Amino acid sequence: MMTLTPSQSVPNLDPAIESIREKVLAGQRLTLDDGKVLYETRDIWSVIELAKLVRDRMHPGVAYYNINRHLNYSNVCALACKFCEFARKQGDEGAYTRELGDIKEQGHKALESGATEMHIVGGLNPYLPFAYYTDMLSTLREIAPQIHLKAFTAVELVHLARIAKAYTRDDPKVGVRWVLERLKEAGLGSLPGGGAEVFDERVHKEAFKTKIGAHEWLDVHLVAHELGLNTNCTMLYGHVDKQDERLRHMEILRRSQDQALHRLGYEGDADGYIASGIVESEQISAPVITLSGERAVLPTPDGINSQRAATVKERSSESSDKQGLLPDGRGSSESDQVLGGYYQTITPLPFFPDGSALENLPGPTGLENLRTLAITRLMLDNFPHVKAFWIMQSLPMAQVMLEAGADDIDGTVVWYDITKAVGEGTHQETTELDLKRAIEEAGYTPIERDTLYRRVTRDGSRWWVGD
Ligand code: SF4
């Protein structure tokens, strides 16, 4: 009896994927050309299967969620990015800025609901003084010391350096460092990843030309990493961007992560693939470090990876002792401090045209979202986590994405003003039960995590890190 080979029996199977499969199995870094194949192939299911392989290797059998609340303190913004449906000018209908009393109330509600995280972002409000931001954090810290404050995107932090008069054109990093040090003292725990959009000068000029570009965004995250703060990043795609521009965005991010991990003691591969002409910044001079191979050590203090984390911790402490790599003098035994200073999560964000200045564009389709997420997992081989943010993908789609490379679906959210992908209003809440059910139905064990991806144990609204 004649046996059909896979390429004969499955019409969409693409032989070009096979060389990529070998690299993925060997835990090797994919090239930009590999990424192009992954975007262009008709065999999307093989792309998804490869991303699932990597995701299952890095997080076998589990998927993460958290109990969080978003706080958008003001939608007044000095800029007018074309893809933005959130920003308003002062005095416009719907423009708002939360008073400190309102913020206190939000803190109390977060505490009562048992949230482990407050995710705080807003517009670049030119009418608020720098003290508003430090007061906001210290007030929340006082009300709810256990809640992690993940706050302010890179563009907000540059804005804060400007209003604090700490910003200098010669070296913007100096002002950002000054601001971050004060925010950290006031309670800042980590940075979200918004505002990266797509790192490309053409896209920057066309869609968000007054906002900071790639270099400044990367500088802010570099300074945060140096201060021991973990950060996250995003890719807002599906507007004026092209696929090769998305791939370059991924290359820039993974090089930035190479640098962060190298600082934490990872050695890496000096001969690994680095795309030429992409990252001109002399700051990124680290070897290639991949975390997607069989024996890679993920930089997380989470209990399920405690053995791996212990190894990194040891190496990190050794590095800091010997080489003084942690510039703020850290070196205590507190795990999030020792392990801090890298990108935790990449979240691909599909563009929603409605209400933006680009509403003539169609926005990405479901399959494009699925493919982009899978490619993100495959290309960003040194990012511990890939998030399917359910607010922007929908919960059913986020559930499917757990099979396509994602290991995290974010949290309960409650209020989210940035996009209104689900329903008409800004009350966009899901329950812990729904998140757990979505994960279980996808075949994974749900793990409640804190912001730093440590396992959380819960008794109603009471919770603690660890078992
Ligand atoms: S994307 Fe951010 S910086 Fe741009 S207009 Fe909207 S709120 Fe302002």
Q: How far apart are CA 185 and CA 414, in angstroms?
A: 27
Least confident of 247-256, 314-323, 388-397: 314-323
Q: How far apart are CA 320 and CA 322, in angstroms?
A: 6
Least confident of 126-140, 300-314, 332-346: 300-314
Q: Which residues, including other chains, have CB under 8 Å from residue 146's CB and lie 6 or more apart?
A: 116
The residue contributing the CA closest to ligand 1 atom 3 is 79
**Ligand 1 geometric centre to CA of 196 (Å):** 11
In which element (H, E) is residue 220 found?
helix 214-226
Q: How far apart are CA 28 and CA 129, in angstroms?
A: 48
Cβ atoms 309, 339 nearer than 8 A: yes
**Ligand 1 geometric centre to CA of 87 (Å):** 6
Q: How far apart are CA 338 and CA 214, in angstroms?
A: 28
* Ligand 1 and 157: CB distance under 6 A: no
Question: Would you say residue 228 has pLDDT above 50?
Answer: yes
Q: How far apart are CA 433 and CA 446, in angstroms?
A: 10
User: How much is the pTM?
Assistant: 0.88
Its sign, for the CA torsion 36, 365, 120, 166, is positive
Tokens at residue 457, please? 């144990």
The residue contributing the CA closest to ligand 1 atom 4 is 81
64 phi and psi angles, rounded to 5 deg:
-105, 150
Tokens 């990843």 belong to residue: 193
Question: Would you say residue 254 has pLDDT above 50?
Answer: yes
**Ligand 1 geometric centre to CA of 80 (Å):** 6
Q: How far apart are CA 383 and CA 50, in angstroms?
A: 16
Mean pLDDT score, 363-390: 96
**Ligand 1 geometric centre to CA of 50 (Å):** 35
Q: Which atom of ligand 1 is nearest to the CA of 122?
A: 7
Its sign, for the CA torsion 242, 217, 330, 304, is negative
Mean pLDDT score, 89-106: 96
**Given its phi and psi angles, is residue 335 left (phi above 0), alpha (psi -120 to 50 degrees) or beta?**
alpha
Instruction: Express each pLDDT in 14-69 by its tens digit.
Output: 888 999 999 999 999 999 999 999 999 999 999 999 999 999 999 999 999 999 99
Nearest to 198 by CA among 245, 251, 255: 245
Instruction: Express each pLDDT in 294-326 by its tens digit.
Output: 888 898 654 334 444 444 444 444 433 333 222
Where does the pLDDT of residue 352 fall: very low under 50, low under 70, confident under 90, or very high at 90 and above?
A: confident
CATH number of 13-465: 3.20.20.70
Tokens at residue 228, please? 């021991």
End-to-end alpha-carbon separation of the chain, Å? 56
Question: Would you say residue 330 has pLDDT above 60?
Answer: no
pLDDT at 425: 52
Look at the chain and count its residues: 467
Nearest to 453 by CA among 376, 340, 370: 340
Instruction: Express each pLDDT in 166-196 by its tens digit.
Output: 988 888 899 999 999 999 999 999 999 988 8
Mean pLDDT score, 99-120: 96
User: Rounded to an integer, what is the distance from CA 221 to the centroid of its chain?
Assistant: 11
Mean pLDDT score, 119-137: 97
Axis crossing angle, helix 214-226 with helix 154-163, rounded to the nearest 10: 80
**Ligand 1 geometric centre to CA of 148 (Å):** 24
pLDDT at 467: 83
Q: How far apart are CA 290 and CA 373, in angstroms?
A: 18
Alpha-carbon distances of 294 from 30, 51, 55, 271, 428, rounded to whole Å? 16, 14, 11, 19, 38
Mean pLDDT score, 155-159: 97
* Ligand 1 and 87: CB distance under 6 A: yes
Question: Would you say residue 422 has pLDDT above 50?
Answer: no
Nearest to 404 by CA among 159, 46, 73, 21: 46
In which element (H, E) is residue 410 found?
strand 408-411
